[in-house]
Amino acid sequence: MRIGRILAVLTLAGTAAVLAQGPRVDLIHLDPQPEISGGCPARLHFTGRIRTTGPMDVEYQWLRSDGSHTEHTLHFARPNTLPVATNWQLNTRYHGWMQLVILSPQHLQTAKATFSVNCGR
């Protein structure tokens, strides 16, 4: 009987630790190639998705190879996967990248989606 109690206490303690963690971001994905349309200027459309294990607000940013970034907040009412997207317009020849970065509640980042645009001189 004593062994049964010890196992029950250990099991409950382990469950409490898992429950105390709360919801989190468990997936961040950036499609590896943007959709490129138009001639000059060229429009680059980047897409991805963020998934959480429960309700929460997620702060994220699009980080560009030219040093520019835009920050956004995504509200999750329940565990879900939500799409994210951004555009970049270029009117010159450019080789660069875009990256999706989670700022809060934890720091995560994707691999960089690289591209080349041969617009202009």
Can you tell me the mean pLDDT for 51-66? 97
**Averaged over 35-51, what is the pLDDT?**
94
Kind of pairing between the strands at 35-37 and 25-30: unpaired
Residue-wise pLDDT for 65-79, tens only, equals 999 999 999 999 999
Strand partners, 63: 69, 99
Instruction: Give CA–CA dist 20/79, Å, rounded.
Output: 16
Average confidence (pLDDT) over 86-110? 96
* CATH code at 22-118: 2.60.40.10
Enumerate the domain spans of the chain.
22-118
* pLDDT value, residue 38: 86
Mean pLDDT (whole number) for 1-13: 40
Q: At 121, is the pLDDT very low, low, confident or very high (cuts 50, 70, 90)? A: low
Residue 120 has a pLDDT of 65
